[in-house]
Amino acid sequence: MQEKDLVRTIEQLRSIEPRKDWVLSTKGRIFAEYDFEHAEPKRLWGFFLKPVAVLPLAALAVIGIVFSFSALQDLKTTNFEVAQLKADLQEIQKLTLSLENLQSDILEAKESLEGTEIISPKMVLEMSEGVRSAAVTGREVIEETRKIAEAASSSQEQLSILTSITNTEKAIEDFEMSYQEKVKVVLESLIEEMEHWALGEEDLQKFEEAKQIYQEGRYSEALERILTIGY
Amino acid sequence: MSDLKKQFSKIYDEHIKKIYRFVYLKVSSEDIAQDIASETFLKAWDKFKAGEEIKNMQAFLYQVARNLIVDHYREKAKVRTISSQEYQIPDPRMAVATEAQVESDMSQVRLALSEINEDYQDLIILRYLDQLSIPEIAEISGKSEGAVRVSLHRAMQDLKKHLEGKGF
């Protein structure tokens, strides 16, 4: 075999090429993280450019709430005889005051959350644990406080603390909804952005599933699903 | 699109096929070739966006790909086997009658290529498939231009010998 024939045969191996969809999706994956971090505000994150309050503020507020809840948890009835509390108006008043402080903390956290500039979608998910544990602890405290209130002898004090409980429950719900709204907005922009991506078969399936979960209103789950794309 | 992204996007478009083929011919698996080629560009992008100096991007990409291939074989301790099915590289433009012959030739060359030593494989792929110049290959392989010429000649002789041994 002549060398030129050998070279010609070797050159035929140039027909080996990667799949076009893989080439495109790999490129998308390489730039994905960078895009999230450097997204042009007007195009992707403009809606978050409210008075700038960054993550640490929200995180501090959430941590603050958890601390408040921890303090309130000391008042749980598990270590108290309900009978002893029945006549203890001072304790009821103290609880009412604590619940009002709790509402105030939640409101502050909610405002921080709403003003937080989201740097990356992962950041929203990272905040979820703080929000969830704050809400769970808050509801536990409310439940225990309700038991004390029901056992209270004074109907006036009962009314006062029940009103406080209702307001606190509402504040926690608003806080959770505010977080869900944040997730929803991030999710919607991601979906809009990714509609233009050339995804491989597997990633496309994940994307379709994420959209379905989004339609069902399970925003955090949908966001988690989307963030698995490309991995 | 940011300038950095635009610049790297161009680099990616320019080299992805070559790097993929370079890896594919050495690992004989589409999945593994995809993984290694992706990782090669991810590493290059990390360095590029961090502002680290890359004097010759093409040489850098081949070097990274080659290191990843070495790591792959070292970690997995895989024995390369090439099945006859992996030889099929259809080209729809070819007439059916000639296609079978060409495929057969390519398969033989691929098999022979996989049997010669790694350095020789690299030289043949870089020179005759990726059409790199001798100075470019010298930079990638870390050898002098003279040494590359000599090694390339030996590589072709070795490949030819392997092919002749198969009755090619």
User: How many folded domains does chain A comprise?
Assistant: 1
- B45 to chain A: which residues are within 8 Å by CB? 30-31, 34
User: Residue B128 is nearest to which of A11, A18, A26, comparing CB atoms?
Assistant: A11
Q: Chain A within 8 Å of B153 (Cβ-Cβ)?
A: no
User: Residue B124 is nearest to which of A10, A26, A30, comparing CB atoms?
Assistant: A10
* Chain-chain contact of B109 with A10 (C-beta, under 8 angstroms): yes
Residue A213: pLDDT band with limits 50, 70, 90: very high
Distances (CA, A) of A8 to A14, B73, B144: 10, 30, 26
- Cross-strand bridge partners of residue A53: A116
**pLDDT at B141 exceeding the cut of 60:** yes
For residue B132, being part of any structural domain is answered with yes
Interatomic CA distance for residues A60 and A55, integer angstroms: 8
Residue A162: pLDDT band with limits 50, 70, 90: confident
User: Is-contact A57 A115, C-beta < 8 A?
Assistant: yes
CA distance A72 to chain B (A): 48
**pLDDT at B16 exceeding the cut of 90:** yes
For residue B84, being part of any structural domain is answered with no
Mean of pLDDT values over B37-66 = 91
* Structural domain for A184, as ranges: 20-226
Q: Chain A within 8 Å of B129 (Cβ-Cβ)?
A: yes
Q: By mean pLDDT, which of A17-21, A150-154, A182-186 is the weakest?
A: A150-154
User: Is-contact A113 A58, C-beta < 8 A?
Assistant: yes
- A7 to chain B: which residues are within 8 Å by CB? 128
For residue A14, being part of any structural domain is answered with no
B160 and B107 co-located in one domain = yes
- B33 to chain A: which residues are within 8 Å by CB? 18
CA distance A123 to chain B (A): 21
**pTM above the 0.95 mark?**
no
Mean of pLDDT values over A185-199 = 82
For residue B86, being part of any structural domain is answered with no
B115 and B143 co-located in one domain = yes
**pLDDT at B129 exceeding the cut of 80:** yes
Helix (H) or strand (E) holding B50: none
Q: Chain A within 8 Å of B78 (Cβ-Cβ)?
A: no
User: How many folded domains does chain B comprise?
Assistant: 2
pLDDT computed for residue A36 by the predictor: 60
CATH number of the domain enclosing B7:
1.10.1740
Q: By mean pLDDT, which of A96-110, A209-223, B45-59 is the weakest?
A: A96-110
* Structural domain for B57, as ranges: 3-76
Chain A 36-75, residues with CB within 8 Å of chain B CB atoms: 38
Mean confidence (pLDDT) of chain A: 71
For residue A231, being part of any structural domain is answered with no
Most A CBs within 10 Å: which of B6, B15, B17, as the mutation test of the A interface?
B17
B50 and B114 co-located in one domain = no
For residue B154, being part of any structural domain is answered with yes
Helix, coil or strand: residue B97: helix
Q: Please give, one letter per residue, the 3-state secondary structure of chain A.
A: CCHHHHHHHHHHHHHCCCCHHHHHHHHHHHHHHHHHHHCCHHHHHHHHCCCCECHHHHHHHHHHHHHHHHHHHCCCHHHCCHHHHHCCHHHHHHHHHHHHHHHHHHHHHHHHHHHECCCCHHHHHHHHHHHHHHHHHHHHHHHHHHHHHHHCCCHHHHHHHHHHHHHHHHHHHHHHHHHHHHHHHHHHHHHHHHCCCCCCHHHHHHHHHHHHHHHCCCHHHHHHHHCCCCC
Q: Chain B within 8 Å of A16 (Cβ-Cβ)?
A: yes
pLDDT computed for residue B156 by the predictor: 92
Buried b (16+ CB within 10 A) or exposed e, A171-194: bbeebbebbbebbbbbbebbbeeb
B126 and B99 co-located in one domain = yes
Please tell me which residue of chain B has the smallest CA distance to A40. B1
Buried b (16+ CB within 10 A) or exposed e, B50-61: eeeeeeebbbbb
| pLDDT tens track for B59-111 | 999 999 999 998 888 876 644 444 333 333 333 334 444 445 556 677 788 88
Most B CBs within 10 Å: which of A4, A6, A20, A38, as the mutation test of the B interface?
A6
* Chain-chain contact of B25 with A13 (C-beta, under 8 angstroms): yes
Helix axes A121-151, A55-73, angle to 10 degrees: 20
Q: Is the dihedral of CA B47, B48, B50, B55 positive or negative?
A: positive
Please tell me which residue of chain B has the smallest CA distance to A16. B21
Mean of pLDDT values over B122-150 = 91
Mark residue A217 as left, alpha or beta (left: phi above 0; alpha: psi -120 to 50; beta: remaining): left
| pLDDT tens track for A50-95 | 333 334 334 444 545 554 554 444 444 444 444 554 555 666 666 7
Residue predicted with more confidence, B87 or A194: A194
For residue A198, being part of any structural domain is answered with yes
Tokens 């069902």 sit on residue: A216
pLDDT computed for residue A76 by the predictor: 45
Query: Which has the closest alpha carbon to A16: B22, B52, B157, B166?
Result: B22
Which pair of tokens denotes residue B8? 């790297």
